[in-house]
Chain A
Amino acid sequence: MSRVSAFIEGLCRAGAFLSAICMAAIVILIVVEIFLRMFFGFSTMVSSEFSGYLLVGLVAMSLGYTLQHEAHIRITLIWGVLPLKWKNRVDIAVAAVSAAVTGFALYHSVLLVQQTYSRGMTADSMSETPLWIPQTAIPVGLFLFLLQLVNFILRRVRQ
């Protein structure tokens, strides 16, 4: 069981690493754009468009990792005064419902990507980026999030 946890946490860390790369890429993209505009009067034409895609990737890929670090906020006003046993029970219930919601979102985000792909939808811009490419980050990220929620439950069941 703990090997499952370690595996899930490793996957989510890898996801977060990709997120950090997305973040760095946004900075570099914009700095290059400003540099080109200032000194050469030239624009890449894609910096604002790609920043949006990179933000989607950044957020999606790190949802699970953020849960792993207990960094998604929740109101623990009532939870905080419960005895440990009940804290665990409430956590499991809450995470189970959240996992169901994530599964639902995951299923429909796969449909969204499929639809975008089969209709050949592209961005309304110079680059005409096929939109299914950046959209794919959403189901992948939600899958990691789902795994991490399962891990969250497993850890509490074992206690």
Chain B
Amino acid sequence: MISSPLTLALVLLLVMFGFLLSSKWIGFSLISTGIIGLVLYDANLPPVLSIWDKAGTLLANSIWNSLNSWALSALPLFILMGEILYRTAISTKLLNGLVPWLTRVPGKLYHINILACSLFAAVSGSSAATTATVGNITLSELKERGYDKKLALGSLAGAGTMGFLIPPSLIMIIYGVLSDTSIGKLFIGGIIPGLMLAFFYSAYIALQCLLHPEYVPVKQDNYTWGQKLRALKEIVPVFALIFVVLGGIYLGMTTPTEAAAIGVVGSLVLAWGFRNLTLKNLMESFMAAVRTTAMICFIIAGAAFLSQMVGFVGIANALSRYIVSLELSPYVLILVVGFMYILLGMILDGISIVVMTLPIVLPIVVNAGFDPLWFGIYLVFMVELSQITPPVGFSLFVINHISRENMYTILKATFPFFLIMILMVVLITMFPEIVFFLTDRV
């Protein structure tokens, strides 16, 4: 049996990746690794208690304790809200409302992905949902009007990931629950980085179109101010929904879970207003939300057990001490952590990355002087990057599915937006005030 926590950590890392790559479900891979960790460890247990009993008790308690959570119950509600909205005409409305305003901007309708994703991200907590809902309408619309597919695909991939950054955000809820950070503050901290990212995307698009005028079709639609204002009417319901969901959190009147429940009711009202509220849609929304919730929470429960094991056998402690003994500067540390996340992001989805690494990485990073709130936003960026890095990237899969373009074209189109996101990570690391600007004022 292994008594050195560091050796054990290395062995378990191999075991875990063995399980993961064997195509075993991620939740089961985590639980199995946890059990093996306990069995391999040289535990000093009283002879009446077998290590298997210890493992079983820890497992059953982890499942109960990780799911019996008020804060985590925001998760299914925001998922349900997204599913209801996905089955409404919301993306068509966003398109109709925004198009008249874009005809005079350099890059014209290319900005539709950025704007529509930013707005939809403010009522949706997931990147996949944002990408799918917006992309479903915009990609074919841009193609029809003769826009170049490269910028259209890339901007959708980049902007779609903002579903996780612009509140509400499933990743922020999960991070907040696991790290005991205020979810409301995380939501507020994501606003400025999210808007900055959207701005950089748009700036890049405008620049590209100024350099390559052939990207933009010559045909010019002109809209009068009256038409523009009338078009705005189409997106008023979306703004109203954003206001009732996020307003309460910002004003400190509602908790994120309460805001989520209000959001469900709001999205039902909106679906009813758009005449999309049918019994069939409602049933489908509920069942899809149930599946996504079970999928995510199974991984959370597995990771909760794994983190119990990591604490019990002393891996978290030993690893922290080891990293401290390296005397890395905080910037080098965060750079190494960033590289690790990008590598993990290539084969794992964002939620798994967060729940698997947090018990080990968070203490180390906090020890190096980073604020947990700031690290939460940093982590959201890492998750966003994982959505668009091959071979496993959920946004890429979604775009592949709706555009029917081959993966290589999508990847090439996405790469500049990947770099812009990295630039944003560097900026929030150099200037953490970007994150704290609003949270310090609440």
Q: Which of A13-33 contact B (CB under 8 A)?
A: 16, 19-20, 23-24, 26-27, 30-31, 33
Instruction: Tell me how far the C-beta of B87 lies from the nearest C-beta in chain A, rounded to whole angstroms.
Output: 15
Which of A41-96 touch B at CB < 8 Å?
Answer: 48-49, 51-56, 58-60, 62-63, 65-67, 69, 71-79, 90-91, 94
- A104 interface residue per 8 A CB criterion: yes
Give Cα A112 to B257, complex, Å: 28
Residue on A nearest B32 in the bound complex, by CB: A101
Q: How far apart are B27's CB and chain A's nearest CB, in angstroms?
A: 7
Q: Are A59 and B298 closer than 8 Å at their CB atoms?
A: yes
Instruction: Indicate if the CB atoms of A62 and B294 lie closer than 8 Å.
Output: yes
Q: How near does chain A come to B380, taking the closest CB pair, in angstroms?
A: 19
Stretch at the interface among B72-80, B186-194, B309-317, B354-362: B72-80
Complex contacts, B291 vs chain A, CB 8 Å: 16, 62, 65-66, 69, 71
Taken together as a complex, chains A and B put the C-alpha atoms of A58 and B60 apart, in Å, by 17
Min CB gap B243→A, angstroms: 16
Please measure, in the bound complex, the distance between the C-alpha atom of A122 and the C-alpha atom of B24, giving whole angstroms. Answer: 37
Give A38's nearest chain B residue, CB to CB.
B253
**Which residues of the other chain, A, contact B67 by a CB distance below 8 angstroms?**
52, 55-56, 59-60
Q: Which residues of A contact B293 (CB under 8 A)?
A: 19, 23, 58-59, 62
Q: How far is the CA of A53 from the CA of B21 in the complex (A)?
A: 34
Least CB distance from B258 to A in Å reads 6
Residue of B nearest to A134 (CB): B68
A138 proximal to B (CB < 8 A): yes
Partner of B258, one of A30, A78, A107: A30
- Please determine whether B295 and A27 come into contact, CB atoms closer than 8 angstroms: no
Given contacts A55-B72, A73-B295, contact A34 B290 (CB under 8 A): no
A28–B149 Cα distance when bound, in Å, is: 44
Report which of A27, A65, A75, A109 forms a contact with B264, defined as CB distance below 8 A: A27
Does any Cβ of B come within 8 Å of A140's Cβ? no
Q: Is the CB of A94 within 8 A of B70?
A: no
CB atoms of B22 and A90 under 8 A apart: yes
Q: A75-B26, A98-B24 are in contact. Are A65 and B265 (CB under 8 A)?
A: no
Which residues of B are found within 8 Å of A62, using beta-carbon distances?
Answer: 290-291, 293-294
What A residues does B35 contact at CB under 8 A? Answer: 101, 104
Among residues of A, the one whose C-beta sits closest to the C-beta of B265 is: A31
Q: Cα distance A73–B70 when bound, in Å?
A: 25
List the B residue with the shortest CB-CB distance to A23: B76
B409 at the interface (CB under 8 A from A): no
Q: Does A74 lie within 8 Å of B24, measured CB to CB? A: yes
How many angstroms from the CA of A32 to the CA of B285 in the assembled complex? 22
Q: Known: A51-B70, A94-B23, A134-B68. Contact between A24 and B286, CB under 8 A?
A: yes
Chain B residues with CB under 8 A of A36? none
A155 beta carbon closer than 8 Å to chain B: no
CA distance A20 to B284 in the complex (A): 10
Provided the pairs A30-B261, A72-B295, A77-B391 are in contact, do residues A105 and B64 lie with their beta carbons within 8 angstroms? no
Query: Is A156's beta carbon under 8 Å from chain B?
Result: no
Query: Is B50 an interface residue when CB atoms closer than 8 A count as contact?
Result: no
- The interface size bin for chain A is 35 or more
Tally of contact residues, B, Cβ under 8 A: 55
Q: Which residues of the partner chain A approach B287 to less than 8 Å between Cβ atoms?
A: 16, 20
Contacts of A104 in B (CB 8 A): 35, 56, 59
How long is the Cα–Cα vector from A91 to B22 in the complex, in angstroms? Answer: 9
B59 engages A105 (CB within 8 Å): yes
A115 and B67 CA atoms in complex are apart in Å by 19
| Residue in B closest to A57 when the chains form the complex, CB atoms | B67
Cα(A31)–Cα(B80), bound, Å: 15
With A51-B70, A74-B25, A79-B23 already in contact, the answer to whether A112 and B298 are too (CB < 8 A) is no
Question: A101 vs B264: C-alpha distance in the bound complex, in angstroms?
Answer: 36
For residue A133, which residues in chain B have a CB less than 8 angstroms away from its CB?
Answer: none
Q: Are A58 and B76 in contact (CB under 8 A)?
A: yes
B:367-399 near A, CB below 8 Å: 391-392
Please state if B289 and A23 are interface contacts (CB–CB under 8 Å). Answer: yes
Chain B residue at minimum C-beta to C-beta distance from A75: B20
Q: Does B61 contact A (CB under 8 A)?
A: yes
B24, B69, B265, B352 — most chain A CB neighbours (10 Å) = B24
Question: Given the known A-B contacts A26-B77, A108-B59, are A58 and B290 also in contact in the complex, defined by CB atoms under 8 Å?
Answer: yes
Measured between C-beta atoms, what is the minimum distance from B176 to chain A in Å?
Answer: 15
Taking Cβ atoms with an 8 Å cutoff, the residues of B that contact A are 20-29, 31-32, 35, 56-57, 59-61, 63-64, 67-70, 72-73, 76-77, 80, 254, 257-258, 261-262, 264-265, 286-287, 289-295, 297-299, 301, 347-349, 352, 391-392
**Residues of chain A whose beta carbon lies under 8 Å from any beta carbon of chain B:** 16, 19-20, 23-24, 26-27, 30-31, 33-34, 48-49, 51-56, 58-60, 62-63, 65-67, 69, 71-79, 90-91, 94, 97-98, 101, 104-105, 107-109, 111-112, 134-135, 138
Known contacts A27-B80, A63-B294, then 7 further A-B pairs from the complex at CB < 8 Å, ordered by chain A residue: A27-B77, A30-B77, A52-B69, A55-B68, A74-B20, A91-B23, A105-B60
5 A-B residue pairs with Cβ-Cβ distance under 8 Å, sorted by A, are: A20-B287, A30-B257, A62-B294, A63-B294, A74-B29
Minimum-distance CB pairs A-B, first 8: A108-B56, A79-B23, A30-B261, A48-B70, A66-B294, A112-B60, A51-B73, A59-B297
